[in-house]
C-alpha cells in the first residue's frame, strides 16, 4: 500500500496520474440519490459539536430521518492540526468530545455522520487538506466511524483531478469502511465522463446561493449561481447519472430565504433531476412551511425512484416542460415557470410525446396511451385530478411565478386509437 501511495503522489505532482483499471469506490451505496443535511449553506465555518448533536435530534424529532434524510454532514472547519504522525485531528474547542464520540451519538439516532476534506494542500476554509495524507485521512475517518466524505478542490494547483480523486477513492477502500464518496470539484474536469467507478456523486457546477435566478460574482474568480443557472448547467448531463453514480447540482437552499413558491420549485427540480437531496437550512428552527416542502414524500419518491433516470427538459420557454421516467410505467411531469408572473399553460399532451430510448429505453406516447394525473403538491396527492385523454376542449393550468406544477402520470389504458 505504501509503495502505491508514493507512486500516486509522484504522479499527482507531475500532473499525469490516470485512474486505476478497476473500480475503487464501495459498491452498493447511493443506489438512489443520497439524502441528508450539511452545515455549510446556513452555518459556513461556524460549526461545533453542539450544532451537530442538536441537528441530529431535530432530524429525528421532525420526521426528516424517517423521510430518508439519514446523512448528517460536517462541512469545512472542523479540523485542527495534524499530530506528530501526520494524522488529522479535530478542533478541540469546537469538538471537545472528539469525532468518534460524535459519530457514536449520531449513529445512536439512526443517522450516519459525514465529514469534509479537500484534495489540495488546504481546504477552502484554510484548514489542512488531504494532499499527501490520503491514506492516513481515510484510515482516520474509518476509525472514527465516518459514513460519508465530501471531497473539495481548493488549493489544487499542479494536481491532476483524475489522479487525486482516484487516490482518495482507493484510500477509502483500503481503510475498510463503506464510506459514500462525494466529489466536489465543481465540474471543472468534466467528472461525469470518468468518475462513475470512483465516486458515488460528483458536483457538476460551482457553488449554489440562495437566489432563484441570478449570479453572485465575488470579484476574485469565484461566482455563485442561482437555482435556474445551476439547473441549466446540470440538465444536459442526464445520460451520465444512474444508480450509484449521480450528477450533483449542489446542496439545497430551501428554507434559506427563497419565497415559498421558489422553495417548492427548487426542491421539485432537484427531485426531477434525480439529484442528491442534501439540506442546507436550520433544521432546528425551520418553519412549518419549509418542513412541508422537505417532507413531501410523494415528491421525494420522484427523486428516489429506483429506475434512477434523471429527468429531461422537453420544451423550453417562459414555462418549461420536464418529463422523468419512473419505475414501472409511470412518469413525472413538471411545468416550471421561470418568470415572476403567473402563466397559463394549455395541456396539449400530444405535443409532449417523447422518445427517451437512448437513455432510459422508454417512450411516452400521448396519442396511443392515456395517463391519470395526480397533483403531487395538492392537499391530497393520491387523488386523480384528470387524465391525458384528448377532449374537444384543451384543459388549462396556471403555474405561479417561480413555481411549478408537478403531476405523477400513471398509465390508464394502452388501447390504440
- Res 15: pLDDT: 41
Of 137, 152, 303, 403, the active-site residue reads 152
Please determine, for residue 248, whether its predicted confidence score (pLDDT) is greater than 70. Answer: yes
Told to judge if 330 belongs to the known catalytic residues of this protein, a careful annotator would answer no
Residues of the chain with pLDDT > 90, as a percent, come to 90
10-24, 43-57, 162-176, 320-334 — which is least confidently predicted? 10-24
Please determine, for residue 50, whether its predicted confidence score (pLDDT) is greater than 70. Answer: yes
- Res 391: pLDDT: 85
Please determine, for residue 49, whether its predicted confidence score (pLDDT) is greater than 60. Answer: yes
Q: Where are the beta strands (DSSP E) in 205-303?
A: 215-217, 223-225, 246-248, 277-279
Told to judge if 104 belongs to the known catalytic residues of this protein, a careful annotator would answer no
Domains, the chain, in order of start with CATH, read: 2-303 (3.20.20.70), 312-413 (2.60.40.1180)
pTM attached to this predicted model: 0.93
- Res 271: pLDDT: 99
Of 76, 118, 207, 403, the active-site residue reads 207
Please determine, for residue 164, whether its predicted confidence score (pLDDT) is greater than 60. Answer: yes
Task: Single out the residue of 96, 140, 98, 94 nearest to residue 117, CA to CA.
Answer: 140
- Res 259: pLDDT: 98
Residue-wise pLDDT tens digits, 215-243: 888 888 788 999 999 999 999 999 999 99
CA angle 319, 376, 388 (to 5 degrees): 65
Give the whole-angstrom CA distance, residue 249 versus residue 81. Answer: 31
Mean pLDDT (the chain) is 93
pLDDT-based confidence at residue 417 (cuts at 50, 70, 90) = very low
Please determine, for residue 21, whether its predicted confidence score (pLDDT) is greater than 60. Answer: no
Q: What is the mean pLDDT of residues 332-352?
A: 97
Beta bridge partners of 409: 331, 373
- Res 23: pLDDT: 57
Residue-wise pLDDT tens digits, 176-205: 999 999 999 999 999 999 999 999 999 999
* DSSP collapsed to 3 states, 25-38: CCCCCCCCCCEEEE
Give the whole-angstrom CA distance, residue 118 versus residue 124. Answer: 8
- Res 217: pLDDT: 85
- Res 18: pLDDT: 46
Rounded (to 5) percent helix, strand, coil in the chain: 30, 25, 45
Please determine, for residue 84, whether its predicted confidence score (pLDDT) is greater than 50. Answer: yes
Q: How far is CA 109 from CA 100, 103, 250, 395, in A?
A: 15, 10, 26, 48
Residue-wise pLDDT tens digits, 343-389: 999 999 999 999 999 999 999 999 999 999 999 999 999 999 999 99
Task: Single out the residue of 240, 258, 117, 255 nearest to residue 185, CA to CA.
Answer: 117
- Res 131: pLDDT: 98
Higher pLDDT, 1 or 50: 50
Q: Are 67 and 274 in contact (CB under 8 A)?
A: no
Higher pLDDT, 108 or 217: 108
- Res 382: pLDDT: 94
- Res 222: pLDDT: 82
3-state secondary structure of 89: strand
Q: What is the mean pLDDT of residues 132-160?
A: 97
Residue-wise pLDDT tens digits, 381-399: 999 999 999 887 899 999 9
Residues of the chain with pLDDT > 70, as a percent, come to 93
Please determine, for residue 327, whether its predicted confidence score (pLDDT) is greater than 90. Answer: yes
Q: Are 321 and 311 in contact (CB under 8 A)?
A: no
pLDDT-based confidence at residue 413 (cuts at 50, 70, 90) = low
Amino acid at each position: 500500500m505504501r509503495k502505491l501511495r508514493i507512486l500516486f503522489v509522484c504522479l499527482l505532482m507531475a500532473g499525469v496520474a490516470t485512474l486505476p483499471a478497476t473500480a475503487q469506490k464501495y459498491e452498493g451505496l447511493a443506489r438512489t440519490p443520497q439524502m441528508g443535511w450539511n452545515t455549510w449553506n446556513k452555518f459556513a465555518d461556524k460549526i461545533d459539536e453542539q450544532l451537530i448533536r442538536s441537528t441530529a435530534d431535530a432530524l429525528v424529532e421532525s420526521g426528516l430521518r424517517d423521510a430518508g434524510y439519514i446523512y448528517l454532514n460536517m462541512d469545512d472547519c472542523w479540523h485542527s492540526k495534524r499530530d506528530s504522525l501526520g494524522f488529522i485531528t479535530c478542533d478541540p474547542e469546537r469538538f471537545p468530545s472528539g469525532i468518534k464520540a460524535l459519530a457514536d451519538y449520531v449513529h445512536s439516532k439512526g443517522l450516519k455522520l459525514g465529514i469534509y476534506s479537500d484534495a489540495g494542500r488546504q481546504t477552502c476554509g484554510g484548514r489542512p487538506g488531504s494532499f499527501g495524507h490520503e491514506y492516513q485521512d481515510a484510515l482516520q475517518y474509518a476509525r472514527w466511524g465516518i459514513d460519508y466524505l465530501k471531497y473539495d478542490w481548493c488549493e489544487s494547483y499542479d494536481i491532476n483531478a483524475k489522479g487525486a480523486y482516484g487516490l482518495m477513492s482507493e484510500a477509502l477502500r483500503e481503510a475498510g469502511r463503506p464510506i459514500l464518496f462525494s466529489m466536489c470539484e465543481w465540474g471543472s474536469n468534466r467528472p461525469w465522463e470518468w468518475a462513475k467507478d470512483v465516486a458515488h456523486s460528483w458536483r457538476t457546477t460551482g457553488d449554489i446561493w440562495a437566489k432563484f435566478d441570478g449570479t453572485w460574482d465575488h470579484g476574485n474568480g469565484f461566482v455563485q449561481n442561482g437555482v435556474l443557472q445551476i439547473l441549466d448547467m446540470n440538465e444536459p448531463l442526464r445520460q451520465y447519472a444512474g444508480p450509484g453514480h449521480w450528477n450533483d447540482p449542489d446542496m439545497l437552499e430551501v428554507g434559506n430565504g427563497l419565497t415559498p413558491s421558489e422553495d417548492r420549485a427548487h426542491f421539485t427540480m432537484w427531485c426531477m433531476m434525480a439529484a442528491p437531496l442534501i439540506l442546507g437550512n436550520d433544521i432546528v428552527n425551520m418553519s412549518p412551511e419549509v418542513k412541508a416542502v422537505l417532507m413531501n414524500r410523494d415528491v421525494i419518491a420522484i427523486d428516489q425512484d429506483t429506475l434512477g433516470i434523471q429527468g429531461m427538459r422537453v420544451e423550453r420557454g417562459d414555462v418549461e416542460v420536464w418529463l422523468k421516467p419512473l419505475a414501472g410505467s409511470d412518469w413525472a411531469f413538471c411545468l416550471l415557470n421561470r418568470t415572476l408572473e403567473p402563466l397559463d399553460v394549455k395541456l396539449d399532451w400530444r405535443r409532449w410525446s417523447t422518445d427517451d430510448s437512448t437513455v432510459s429505453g422508454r417512450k411516452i406516447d400521448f396519442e396511443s396511451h392515456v395517463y391519470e394525473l395526480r397533483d403531487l403538491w395538492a392537499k391530497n396527492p393520491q387523488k386523480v385530478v384528470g387524465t391525458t385523454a384528448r377532449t374537444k376542449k384543451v384543459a388549462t393550468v396556471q403555474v405561479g411565478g417561480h413555481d411549478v406544477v408537478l403531476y405523477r402520470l400513471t398509465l390508464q389504458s394502452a388501447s390504440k386509437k
